[in-house]
Amino acid sequence: MTDLINQIRNDFPALHQEVNGKPLVYLDNGATTHKPNAVIDAISDYYRTDNSNVHRGAHTLSDRATQRFEDARKTVQAFLNAAKAEEIVWTRGTTESINIVANTWARQNVKAGDQILVTAMEHHSNIVPWQMLCEQTGAELIPIPVSAAGELDMAAFAELLNERVKLVSVVHVSNALGTINPVAEIIEKAHAVGAKVLLDGAQAVAHWDIDVQALDADFYAFSGHKLFGPTGIGVLYGKEALLNAMPPYQGGGEMIEHVSFGKTTYNSLPYKFEAGTPNIAGAIGLAAAIEYLNGLDRVALAAHEDTLLARSVELAEQLGGIQAVGTAANKASVFSFLLEGAHPADVGTLLDQQGIAVRTGHHCAMPIMDQFCIPGTVRASYTFYNTLEDVETLFRGLEKAKMFLL
C-alpha cells in the first residue's frame, strides 16, 4: 500500500512543496482537496485549444467545447448512478445546490405550519437557507438531536416524523465530526410519511461510490473542489419528475426556450436551471477528477483512510491531553479534537509553523459546537494521498505544541 500511495502522491503537484521550511503535510482535505495533474491538464487543455462558449455555436471550437461539457455531465451521471443525464444540474457548489432546492421546490411545496428536519450537526449551508425559507413561509425548522458521541438520535428522528414534515435535509458525512449518517434508513423513514430528502454529499463523494438510485435520494448535492476537482463547480442531482415540476432558479440566457415581451417559455432539463454562461472549464475539470478516481481501487483506498483515522486515535491516547470531538462508531477519516488547555487557533498556528496544515474553528457548524460547549476544534481530515508518516508528523507537532502551550 505504501508504494501505491507514494505513486498516487506523485500525481498531486501541490503536495510536493515546503511550508515554513518544512515539507508540507496537508491535512485539510475536508475544506478542499488538492488536484491531480489530470485535472490541471484538462482545464489547461480546454483553455488552450477549445475555449469557446457552449451550445448554439456555429463553429468547431464551440462544438468541441459543448461535447466536452455535456460528456462531463454524463460522467457525473455515471458517477452518481443517476437514471438520466438530465437529472444532473451544474451549480457553483453544494451551497448553491441547496439554495436552488430551497428557492424552487420548497417554495412550491412548503407552507405555514409545515416542518423541515435537519440534523444538529449540519453545515451552515444546510441550515441558513431553510431558516430563510421558514421566516418567509411560516414553516418550522426542527433539528434532529445528536448524541455526545456525534451520532444521530434515530429514535428521536422517528418521533419527529409526521405528515407535517415536507423535507428532510441531512448531511451524508459531517464535516465537523466525520460522522457517517445512516442516510438509507433516513430516506426510507422520511418517504414513509411523504417527505422528500436532500442529502448534502460534500464530504461523502471523495471517500466512496454514491448510488442515488439505490439510496432513492430525491436530491443529492456536492462540490467539485472536495472531489479533487476545481473550485466553483458543483452538482445538484434531482429526480427528473421533481426537477421538471420546479420553477427556474434564475432568469437569463440558456434557461429559456423562447422570449418575448408577452411571455417567456423555459428550456428543458437540465438547462432551465443553468442560466448564463456556465463554468465550462470547471465541469471538464470535475469530469477529469472523476475519471482519475475511476482508475483507482477506491475500496482499498477507503480502507487506507480508515487506517489513518485509527492510527490517529491510537496516537492521541498515547500523547494524552487530547479530547476527541466526534467519536461515532461509523466515521469517515476526520479526526476533530481539542488539545486540553489550548485554544484551537493557537494549536493550528503552531502546527502551521511546522508545515502541518489543519483546519481550526467551528467549521461552519456552530450549532453542534454550541451543543458541545466548545469554541471549535482542530480538524485533521485525511484522504487517500495522506500517509501514516503524515499522521506521525501531526502528533509530533502536537507534542511540541503541547510543550509550548501548556
- On the question of pLDDT at 354 being above 90, the answer is yes
Do 117 and 230 have their domain in common? yes
Q: How far apart are CA 61 and CA 40, in angstroms?
A: 20
Q: Is residue 49 part of a domain?
A: yes
User: Residues 203, 72: one domain?
Assistant: yes
User: Terminus-to-terminus CA distance in the chain, angstroms?
Assistant: 37
DSSP 50: I
Q: How confident is the model at residue 58 (pLDDT cuts 50, 70, 90)?
A: confident
364 is catalytic: yes
Contacts of 13 (CB under 8 A, 6+ apart): 37, 40
Residues 285 and 301 in one domain: no
237: closest CA among 74, 82, 99, 93? 82
- In the predicted model, what is the mean pLDDT of residues 361-369? 96
Q: d(Cα 203, Cα 282) in Å, to the nearest integer?
A: 19
Among 274, 294, 314, give the residue marking a domain's end: 294
Q: What is the pLDDT of residue 168?
A: 98
Q: Of all helices (H) and strands (E), which one includes residue 377?
A: strand 377-381
According to the model, what pLDDT value does residue 282 have? 98
Cα–Cα distance measured from residue 82 to residue 235, given in angstroms and rounded to the nearest whole number: 12
249 and 134 together in one domain: yes
Q: How many domains is the chain partitioned into structurally?
A: 2
Average pLDDT, the chain: 97
Phi and psi for 342 in degrees, rounded to 5?
A: -125, 145
Q: Would you state the pLDDT for residue 19?
A: 97
- Shared domain check, 323 and 258: no
In a domain, 59, yes or no: yes
User: What is the structure's pLDDT at 56?
Assistant: 80
**Tally of CB atoms within 10 A around 156:** 13
Q: Same domain for 263 and 389?
A: no
Same domain flag for 86 and 17: no
Domain enclosing residue 136, as ranges:
40-294
Is the model's pLDDT at 238 over the cut of 80? yes
Mean pLDDT of 373-401: 97
User: In terms of domains, do 258 and 337 share one?
Assistant: no
Asked if residue 35 belongs to a domain, the reply is no
Looking only at Cα atoms, what is the longest distance across the chain? Answer: 73
**Which of 269, 294, 319 marks a domain boundary?**
294
pLDDT digits 0-9 by tens, 173-214:
999 999 999 999 999 999 999 999 999 999 999 999 999 999
Q: Taking residues 131-140, report their average pLDDT.
A: 98
pLDDT at 256: 87
Same domain, 223 and 88: yes
| Last residue within a domain, chosen from 252, 276, 294 | 294
Residues 310 and 395 in one domain: yes
Does residue 269 sit in the same domain as residue 386?
Answer: no
User: CA geometry: angle at 229 spanning 55 and 41, to 5°?
Assistant: 75
Catalytic residue among 319, 364, 388, 405: 364
Q: Is the pLDDT of residue 406 over 80?
A: no
Residue with more model confidence, 165 or 404: 165
Per-residue pLDDT reduced to its tens digit, 108-125: 999 999 999 999 999 999
Under the banding of pLDDT at 50, 70 and 90, the label for residue 44 is very high
DSSP characters for 334-352? EEEEEETTS-HHHHHHHHH
On whether both 195 and 119 belong to a single domain, the answer is: yes
On whether residue 279 sits in a domain, the answer given is yes
pTM for the structure as a whole: 0.97
Instruction: Please say if the pLDDT value at position 47 is more than 90.
Output: yes
Quote the strand ranges of 190-288, DSSP E.
Answer: 196-200, 219-223, 234-238, 256-259, 264-266
Closest CA to 69 of 277, 292, 248: 277
